[in-house]
Amino acid sequence: MKRATLTLGLAFGLGLVADAASAQTLKTVKDRGSLICGVGQGLPGFSSPDDKGAWTGLDVDLCRGIAAAIFNDPNKVKYTPLSAKDRFEPLKSGEIDVLARNTTWTLSRDALFNFTAVNYYDGQGFMVRKALKVNSALELNGASICTQTGTTTELNLGDYFRANNMRYEVIAFATADETVKAYESGRCDVLTTDVSQLYAEKLKLTNANDHVILPEIISKEPLGPLVRHGDDQWFDIVKWVHFAMLNAEELGVTSKNIDEALKSNLPEIRRLLGIEGNFGEQIGLTKDWVVRIVRHVGNYAEVFDRNVGTGSRLGISRGINRLWTKGGIQYAPPIR
């Protein structure tokens, strides 16, 4: 009987997984009346609840953009905070519609899910105490390093120290908070994660100025939202919400000038805002989908500046996340 119970339990787990693979995510979202978005557990700049409990951040704004495009209301989103370790299974099983949780696009992940676009180009770095007088990651031989388990960070760390013939001790925690707490209490000399996260975590430390982020970037971390395999329409929608924000920035359309832009004679702007053509309808949305996104959430520059850029506490410069026209690598295909 024990075995039968075990089998049943296991099979029940499988059954839940099996429920997920239906291809009609857009219809499900519309019927439900809200989007369910998997986000981080409190990473300033990307996804964290503010003092009133409202979620903000670069990833959160992508979710808001999707909701705005579908419902014309950016607040019709339910957020599911997920740890790095447990982020993929809810997407796989259909508990969330999209995972926007500063997740690195890698081949092995892309083989199982669809990454829609890169909404932040990042790289892995190291943070240490200034008192250690370390100036380069190559001086970290023998150090104890705190990291979050279930991340590409953990793997890059192994590669980097192996490649440079250095010894290290890794202590891997399940959540970002535990990792930072252990670093702060002196359990490890080094905290490693994506540089954008290091800036965010640094803000949370009691004496932020006692810590320094080392110059080395040891990996490529293209962060972006991802969806399940098998629903091409939904894949297109999530992908093009990001592209719409980029195209809006490129054409100078912001949440402030959107009403004037609607009167524009420029064909590109008229196509973007749905005055000409039916581009939104082609991916299952409405003609004015971009108007909805930009009016409620803003273009990419506004979103970046508000959450992680110079308009935010993080104060990260745009760097390679500038538009391709300004020397960066953010580039969106045209709407036509």
Partner 1 sequence: MDQGRHPVRPADPVSETATGLRAPPRVALYNNPKVRSAFYQIVVLVVLVACAYAFVVNARANLAAQGFGSGFGFLGNTAGFGINQTLIAYSETDSYGRVFLVGLLNTLLVAGIGIVLATILGFIIGIARLSPNWLVARLAGGYVELIRNLPLLFQILFWYLAVLLGALPGPRDSIGLGLQPILARLAGATRWLGLPDAVAQWWQGLADWIGPPELYLSNRGLILPRPVFGEGSEFVVAALALAILATIALRLWARRRRDATGRPFPVGWAGFGLIVGLPLATLVVLGAPISLEQPVLRGFNFVGGVRVIPEFVALLIALVTYTAAFIAEVVRAGIMAIPRGQSEAAQALGLQRGAMLRLIIVPQALRVIVPPLTNQYLNLTKNSSLGVAIGYPDLFALFAGTVLNQTHQAIEIIAITMAVYLLISLVTSLLMNLYNARTRRLVER
Contact positions toward partner 1, by CB under 8 A? 4, 6-8, 10-15, 17-18, 20-21, 84-86, 88-89, 92, 108, 111-112, 132, 140-144, 149-150, 154-155, 157-159, 161-162, 168-174, 178, 181-182, 185-187, 189, 228-230
In the complex with partner 1, the residue whose CB is nearer, 178 or 268, is 178
Nearest distance from residue 187's CB to partner 1, in Å?
5
Name the residue nearer to partner 1 (CB basis): 30 or 229. Answer: 229
Q: Please, which residue, 185 or 265, has the CB nearer to partner 1? A: 185
Taking the complex as a whole, the smallest distance from the CB of residue 285 to partner 1 amounts, in Å, to: 24
CB of 95 to partner 1, least distance (A): 13
Task: Output 26 or 314, the one with its CB closest to partner 1.
Answer: 26
Identity of the residue, 10 or 208, whose beta carbon is nearer to partner 1 in the bound complex:
10
Under 8 Å between Cβ of 64 and 79:
no
Pick between residue 206 and residue 265 the one whose CB is nearest to partner 1.
206
Q: CB of residue 259 vs partner 1: minimum separation in angstroms?
A: 43
Structure tokens at 40: 């981080």
Measured from the CB atom, the residue of 17 and 329 that comes closer to partner 1 is 17
Residue 184 CB, shortest distance to partner 1, in Å, is 9
151: left (phi over 0), alpha (psi -120 to 50) or beta: beta
Q: What is the nearest approach in angstroms of partner 1 to the Cβ of residue 104? A: 12
**How is residue 308 written in tokens?**
């992680």
Buried b (16+ CB within 10 A) or exposed e, 150-173: ebbbbebbeebbeeeeeebebebb
Minimum gap (Å) between residue 79 Cβ and partner 1: 21
User: Whose Cβ is closer to partner 1: residue 218's or residue 272's?
Assistant: 218
- Closest separation between CB of residue 163 and partner 1, Å? 11
d(CA 45, CA 66): 18
